[in-house]
Chain A
Amino acid sequence: MTATTTDEGFVVFDHVQKSYDGETLVVKDLNLSIAKGEFLTMLGPSGSGKTTCLMMLAGFETATNGRILLDGTNINELPPHKRGIGMVFQNYALFPHMTVAENLSFPLEVRGMGKSEREAKVMRALDMVQMGKFAHRRPAQMSGGQQQRVALARALVFDPALVLMDEPLGALDKQLREHMQFEIKHLHDSLGLTVVYVTHDQGEALTMSDRVAVFNDGRIQQLAPPDELYERPKNSFVAQFIGENNKLPGIVEELDGEKCLVRLATGEIIDATPVNIRHKGQETLVSIRPERVEFKPEMMPPGAHMIDAEVLEVIYMGDIFRTRMKVAGSTDFVMKSRNTIGQTKLHPGQHVKIGWHPADARALDPM
């Protein structure tokens, strides 16, 4: 499942560009190949071009340049209703004047399917999302979560090979959202669907996807499985956007293949792994995950550099302690430590030495 820009994927974006006004590009040279059966998430802040990409794939927007291939055929000129792509919308878009069963029957009717076959398929799809007894309700008589299930069933009832989801869980509360994430993932696995999922919620992206494409400024910043995205972000934007992150600006002091030393603004030297550093003396932004920061020397690899930190605030969060510190002049450095038996308790005002494994500190472009 690696990103190759050949015609081999089930869905292929081949040098796709999109502009609405002829002056600025909303999508700049998008190349993306999605394998059959893959769950790919397009993640990014609003205005990053992710929804535009989804709309182009669905056929509601046309690519200004480049090709979009579905199962090997160019679908640039194909109208939406001939693409056979199921779609789940953010506001569900259930037809308010039809009952649940009529909503599900609609895609089958327009395909000219017989009545008995339709009814069987509708019931099967509704049972799949445990909504069988709501068949004769109208959308307005159901809760948001129930409407979302029906919308899901409607997008699947005509057995599309590809399903697009545009922030489908955005309007649900947290608990329901997590439950629906699980159910969507379960449907994906059991039906062997190919899913392209758009969200701005990074937690959702990490828990559900096979691969995540992080969008910003009309480009894919990184395309990787969730763990790689979290642990090995390729640039500062991805590091910032995915999860919580500490950033320390500095100058590359020494560069030696897999390792480098970075001198911070206040003069301290820290270890880091060079990611997109080209030469010595370059400015960089070192990114460290809060849970990878250690303050006990015995936990650190031998020879690792340690720097001074002043504890500013300790927040008890149940499973972890969240400690805000002053490090190298910046006051928003965060360390997370597990709440285990015998964990050392820190207090505001206390001075400690902190450090990390060089592999966890990634020297990135300064943005």
Chain B
Amino acid sequence: MTDATTDLATGPITTNDGRPLKEALAASLAVRRRRAFLLVAPLFLFILISFIIPIGQMLGKSIYNDGFSSHAPALAAWFDAHPAGSAIDESAYVALRDDLVAMKKDKTAGEAGTRINYDISGTRSLFTAAARGAEKMQPPYMDAFLKLDKKWGDPNVWRAMRSASSPFTMDFYLAANDLKRNEDGKIVSVGEGQAVYKKLMLRTLVLSLEITAICLLIGFPIAHLLATLPMRKAMLLMIFVLLPFWTSLLVRTTAWMVLLQQQGVLNDLMVWLGIIGDDGRVQMIYNQMGTIIAMTHILLPFTILPLYSVMKTIPPSYVRAARSLGATSWTAFRRVYVPQTLPGVGAGGLLVFILAMGYYITPALVGGADGQMISNLIAFHMQKSLNWSLAAALAAQLLAVVLIFFWIYDRLVGIDKMKLG
């Protein structure tokens, strides 16, 4: 902001002291811009460190896994020199032995075995056992290995090792779509009994859409009531709407268990009223119905609030105008009121849909076997099977589906029309 000395501006407009106008403007705004940046810098750093970097790393795991490749350099070199389809000869077993000897020394045989185990189950012990005996093996190693375990001659094992010898792989995405590579390296679908992920992804999608639709159906009248009631009553109603927010998710979910289970309050009531017999108690929880009921309850405020904020801005004179122009109350509602609530419907619906797609605790607690969603499986791979790469691939696919819906919404409605509050 200091020098206004020699260089006469070449631009068409300059300040009184000869500086280009744009430069002067930038300089005068620089302090304000710097201050604004400093204000948001903590949040930016927080998001970067706690969200973007970990998510990026996690998603990176879906295509990058060096559990095997980093511990088997000799085999990796052999696979490089011999393209797929070449015969597995003695030189390959020499490389295998070298790597296993090194693994034994570094105690990494388990890790490498785990990676192969993702592709062919039951192979982890193959590696740990072979590593223990590798040092004492005598050539020819091919025979030695086959004597140790017949599986060492299995072309599937060798194909899995070839694929794992490079840390970059699409195998986890194949697995996430119920696909695998066969002996020839062709992509085929896994057997009928093992295909779970696509079915589960589809179920997650259908359940989420159902929950979104129910939330909108229930939420619309409540939001309308909230927007039109007198202030005092509206505030009371608002507290009821927000009450679930102030209660722990776990408490609410367990409350549904108490209410809905076969020996629960609702069934007792229906038996007492004689609607159903004591032997005809309805299974309302630990199945899809339980997931739908509990999640609708939990996600309802997310539809009501955006709808309410939109409806609050629609003056009653629109419907009145429609009525005075000769429309019945139904026509006025359908053709004048509803179109104006669409930004709220879109926002509420999208919000609930996205939240429902990734919901985990509630389906885990009340979903039973057929109420599970894809996130439960992601959690299973994160915590139980420890196949983080597959979990990451599933999560990335989930993210992609959500983004696709977001894109469709943007094309149909326009994201700028969305109104969250």
Using a CB–CB distance below 8 Å, which chain A residues touch chain B?
58-60, 79-81, 83-87, 89-91, 93-97, 106-107, 110-111, 154-155, 158, 164
Q: List 11 additional A-B contacts (Cβ < 8 Å) besides A80-B320, A106-B322.
A: A58-B324, A60-B323, A80-B323, A84-B326, A86-B324, A91-B315, A93-B315, A93-B320, A95-B318, A110-B325, A110-B331
The one of A84, A106, A164 in contact with B335, judged by C-beta atoms closer than 8 angstroms, is A106
The smallest C-beta distance from B95 to any residue of chain A, in angstroms, reads 70
Given contacts A95-B336, A96-B340, A97-B339, whether A110 and B326 have CB atoms under 8 Å apart is yes
Please give, as numbers and ranges, the residues of chain B lying within 8 Å of A110 by CB-CB distance. Answer: 325-328, 331
The smallest C-beta distance from B114 to any residue of chain A, in angstroms, reads 58
Q: Tell me whether B324 and A80 are in contact (CB under 8 A).
A: yes
Question: Does any Cβ of A come within 8 Å of B403's Cβ?
Answer: no
Given contacts A106-B335, A110-B331, whether A93 and B326 have CB atoms under 8 Å apart is no
The one of B315, B323, B336, B340 in contact with A81, judged by C-beta atoms closer than 8 angstroms, is B323
Q: Tell me whether B326 and A111 are in contact (CB under 8 A).
A: yes
The smallest C-beta distance from B154 to any residue of chain A, in angstroms, reads 66
Question: Does any Cβ of A come within 8 Å of B4's Cβ?
Answer: no
Can you name 12 A-B residue pairings with CB atoms under 8 Å? Answer: A58-B320, A80-B320, A85-B324, A86-B324, A93-B317, A93-B318, A94-B321, A107-B326, A110-B327, A110-B328, A111-B326, A155-B324
A111 to B325 CA separation, bound complex (whole angstroms): 9
A15 to B141 CA separation, bound complex (whole angstroms): 113
A87 to B326 CA separation, bound complex (whole angstroms): 11
Q: Which of B301-336 contact A (CB under 8 A)?
A: 315, 317-318, 320-329, 331-332, 335-336
The one of B324, B335, B340 in contact with A87, judged by C-beta atoms closer than 8 angstroms, is B324
A121 to B336 CA separation, bound complex (whole angstroms): 21
The smallest C-beta distance from B160 to any residue of chain A, in angstroms, reads 59
A81 to B325 CA separation, bound complex (whole angstroms): 6
The smallest C-beta distance from B121 to any residue of chain A, in angstroms, reads 58
A89 to B325 CA separation, bound complex (whole angstroms): 12
Please give, as numbers and ranges, the residues of chain B lying within 8 Å of A158 by CB-CB distance. Answer: 325-326
A91 to B321 CA separation, bound complex (whole angstroms): 11
The smallest C-beta distance from A110 to any residue of chain B, in angstroms, reads 5
Please give, as numbers and ranges, the residues of chain A lying within 8 Å of B339 by CB-CB distance. Answer: 95, 97
Please give, as numbers and ranges, the residues of chain B lying within 8 Å of A95 by CB-CB distance. Answer: 318, 321-322, 336, 339-340
Ranked 9 nearest A-B pairs via Cβ: A107-B325, A93-B321, A87-B324, A80-B323, A93-B317, A97-B339, A110-B327, A89-B317, A110-B326
A95 to B320 CA separation, bound complex (whole angstroms): 11
Please give, as numbers and ranges, the residues of chain A lying within 8 Å of B315 by CB-CB distance. Answer: 91, 93
A91 to B324 CA separation, bound complex (whole angstroms): 15
* Chain A, residue nearest B332 (CB): A81
Please give, as numbers and ranges, the residues of chain B lying within 8 Å of A106 by CB-CB distance. Answer: 322, 325, 327, 335
Using a CB–CB distance below 8 Å, which chain B residues touch chain A?
315, 317-318, 320-329, 331-332, 335-336, 339-340
Number of A-B contacts (CB under 8 A): 69
* Chain B, residue nearest A96 (CB): B340
The one of A80, A97, A164 in contact with B340, judged by C-beta atoms closer than 8 angstroms, is A97
A110 to B326 CA separation, bound complex (whole angstroms): 6
Please give, as numbers and ranges, the residues of chain A lying within 8 Å of B322 by CB-CB distance. Answer: 95, 106
Given contacts A96-B340, A106-B335, whether A89 and B326 have CB atoms under 8 Å apart is no
Given contacts A96-B340, A97-B339, A97-B340, whether A81 and B324 have CB atoms under 8 Å apart is yes
Please give, as numbers and ranges, the residues of chain B lying within 8 Å of A90 by CB-CB distance. Answer: 317
Q: Tell me whether B320 and A89 are in contact (CB under 8 A).
A: yes
A93 to B319 CA separation, bound complex (whole angstroms): 9
The smallest C-beta distance from A147 to any residue of chain B, in angstroms, reads 12
The smallest C-beta distance from A118 to any residue of chain B, in angstroms, reads 13
A110 to B317 CA separation, bound complex (whole angstroms): 18
The smallest C-beta distance from A86 to any residue of chain B, in angstroms, reads 7
Please give, as numbers and ranges, the residues of chain A lying within 8 Å of B340 by CB-CB distance. Answer: 95-97
The smallest C-beta distance from B244 to any residue of chain A, in angstroms, reads 33
Please give, as numbers and ranges, the residues of chain A lying within 8 Å of B331 by CB-CB distance. Answer: 110
The smallest C-beta distance from B419 to any residue of chain A, in angstroms, reads 13
A107 to B335 CA separation, bound complex (whole angstroms): 12
A200 to B339 CA separation, bound complex (whole angstroms): 33
Point out which of B317, B322, B324, B340 has the most chain A C-beta atoms below 10 A from its C-beta. B324
Please give, as numbers and ranges, the residues of chain B lying within 8 Å of A107 by CB-CB distance. Answer: 325-327
* Chain A, residue nearest B339 (CB): A97
* Chain B, residue nearest A102 (CB): B335
Please give, as numbers and ranges, the residues of chain A lying within 8 Å of B335 by CB-CB distance. Answer: 106
The smallest C-beta distance from B219 to any residue of chain A, in angstroms, reads 21
Please give, as numbers and ranges, the residues of chain A lying within 8 Å of B332 by CB-CB distance. Answer: 81
Q: Tell me whether A89 and B328 are in contact (CB under 8 A).
A: no
A89 to B318 CA separation, bound complex (whole angstroms): 9
* Chain B, residue nearest A166 (CB): B317
Please give, as numbers and ranges, the residues of chain A lying within 8 Å of B328 by CB-CB distance. Answer: 79, 81, 110
The smallest C-beta distance from B412 to any residue of chain A, in angstroms, reads 15
The smallest C-beta distance from B224 to any residue of chain A, in angstroms, reads 18
Please give, as numbers and ranges, the residues of chain A lying within 8 Å of B329 by CB-CB distance. Answer: 79, 81
The smallest C-beta distance from A98 to any residue of chain B, in angstroms, reads 8
Please give, as numbers and ranges, the residues of chain B lying within 8 Å of A155 by CB-CB distance. Answer: 324-325
A164 to B324 CA separation, bound complex (whole angstroms): 10
The smallest C-beta distance from A16 to any residue of chain B, in angstroms, reads 19
A154 to B340 CA separation, bound complex (whole angstroms): 19
* Chain A, residue nearest B336 (CB): A95
Q: Tell me whether B317 and A81 are in contact (CB under 8 A).
A: no
Q: Tell me whether A81 and B320 are in contact (CB under 8 A).
A: no
A85 to B325 CA separation, bound complex (whole angstroms): 7
* Chain B, residue nearest A82 (CB): B326
A90 to B340 CA separation, bound complex (whole angstroms): 19
A43 to B375 CA separation, bound complex (whole angstroms): 66
* Chain A, residue nearest B318 (CB): A93
Given contacts A91-B315, A95-B336, whether A60 and B326 have CB atoms under 8 Å apart is no
* Chain A, residue nearest B320 (CB): A60
Please give, as numbers and ranges, the residues of chain A lying within 8 Å of B320 by CB-CB distance. Answer: 58, 60, 80, 87, 89, 93
The smallest C-beta distance from A349 to any residue of chain B, in angstroms, reads 53
A86 to B320 CA separation, bound complex (whole angstroms): 11
